[in-house]
Amino acid sequence: MSARPLGARPAGAQPMSARPLGARHLLSIDDLGRDGIVDVLHLADVFEEVSARDIPKVPALRGRTVATVFFENSTRTRLSFETAAKRLSADTMTFTAASSSLSKGESLRDTVETLDAMGVDAMVVRHASAGAPHQIAGWVSASVVNGGDGQHEHPTQALLDCFTLRAALAERSTTGRRRDDLAGVRIAIVGDVHHSRVARSCVLAFRALHAEVVLVGPPTLLPPVVEDWGVEVTHDLDQALERVDVAYMLRLQSERIAEALIPSLGEYSVRFGLTRDRARRLHEDLLVMHPGPMVRGIEIDAEVAQSSRSLVTRQVAAGVAVRMAVLFQLLTPAGERSVEGALVHG
């Protein structure tokens, strides 16, 4: 039997182990590594069950405050984090750049230090500039979660994608068990990779879990130094779709595209969109994912997004469970897993 003694905790003798370095913030998928990702996925399994209850709320973060600090627009990420925080019984605060003193000329640093002084425990930061959350993490005592920074990273999106994919693959497997890696799974990330922070985080996360990743897009929308990413690159979507298990479609980020990188939307859609016509030719098992917001008719056809092969709504649902896991992990003391059983029970 395992050495998991229940009721064995001597009063006042629990060691408070220091947090592992870097675990106070979640700024990049690289902060987590493979083991960190798997830890989040396991925790998210628990919170998925909580979310499915009639009363989807646990008192785990009672008395903590989570602020969403968004300098850029968002629907799902902000709502998802707020829902996650509320389901953990944390209090939530909302900061939006448009209605703030930023418009009076207050600096970024003063803004976040003000929030910090109010005793916020975690800040979920979204900013149009890459690296802004890193910068803020150095200024405040709160935990900082990167909710998307420029074209850099969007780590919780990648985590929820891993969670969704892992669950969907488990349902198709004979054992039904959720695996701790994506070994042998081939994923095509399609479209505007260059402007996509989601793509960056997803490539890091998918590869950390040993999936095979291929990037598909026009040369103008692929990152200039894509060789460093260590993934395959192709410009032929049809050929790529024949040999992958998952088509991860990206939104064409028109707001970040200043110059003419594509001839026309129509042509982009025909060559790199998951059109109805293309969907008919897909092999039966191909799964379709999209981080949202979707621009139906451009990168993905409305019918395809609604079809049974689409994981889009499951991604959104997974987002809440995964963000609960992330907030829980950042805001409760970390411990050594090996002796945790002895420490938690009384």
Partner 1 sequence: MDPDDMRRALVRIAHEILERNHGADDLVVVGLQTGGVDLAQRLVTLLAEIDGGKVPHGRLDVSLYRDDISLRPVVPESVTNIPLDLTGRIVVLVDDVLFTGRTVRAALDALGDHGRARAVQLAVMVDRGHRELPIRPDYVGKNLPTRSDELVEVGPAGVVLGDLLGDLQ
Q: Which is nearer to partner 1, 89 or 234 (CB)?
A: 89
Stretch of 14-22, 145-153, 197-205, 270-278 lying at the interface with partner 1 (CB under 8 A): 14-22
- The answer to whether 59 contacts partner 1 (rule: CB under 8 A) is yes
Task: Give the nearest distance from C-beta 37 to partner 1 in angstroms.
Answer: 16
- φ, ψ at 241 (rounded to 5°): -65, -25
- The answer to whether 260 contacts partner 1 (rule: CB under 8 A) is no
Give CA–CA dist 141/103, Å, rounded: 25
Give CA–CA dist 64/45, Å, rounded: 22
Q: Which is nearer to partner 1, 8 or 183 (CB)?
A: 8
Answer for which of 22, 30, 34, 58 binds partner 1 (CB under 8 A) is 58
Site string for partner 1, 75-114 (x = CB under 8 A): -------------x--------------------------
Give CA–CA dist 167/163, Å, rounded: 6
Helices (runs of H) and strands (runs of E) counted in the chain: 12, 9
- The answer to whether 227 contacts partner 1 (rule: CB under 8 A) is no
As to burial, measured by CB atoms within 10 angstroms (0-12 exposed, 13-18 middle, 19+ buried), residue 343 is middle
Answer for which of 14, 83, 129, 234 binds partner 1 (CB under 8 A) is 14
Q: Which of residues 24-53 bind partner 1 (CB under 8 A)?
A: 43, 45-46, 48-50, 53
Sign of CA dihedral 154, 157, 161, 167: positive
CB 329 within 8 A of CB 40: yes
CA angle 298, 204, 253 (to 5 degrees): 25
Strand, coil or helix: what is 138? helix
Q: Which is nearer to partner 1, 58 or 261 (CB)?
A: 58
Task: Give the nearest distance from C-beta 34 to partner 1 in angstroms.
Answer: 18
Q: Which is nearer to partner 1, 45 or 232 (CB)?
A: 45
CB 340 within 8 A of CB 15: no
CB 345 within 8 A of CB 9: yes
Task: Give the nearest distance from C-beta 35 to partner 1 in angstroms.
Answer: 14
Q: Which of residues 136-165 bind partner 1 (CB under 8 A)?
A: none
- The answer to whether 258 contacts partner 1 (rule: CB under 8 A) is no
Interface residues with partner 1 (CB under 8 A) are: 1, 3-11, 13-14, 16-17, 43, 45-46, 48-50, 53-55, 57-60, 63, 88, 328, 332-337, 339-346
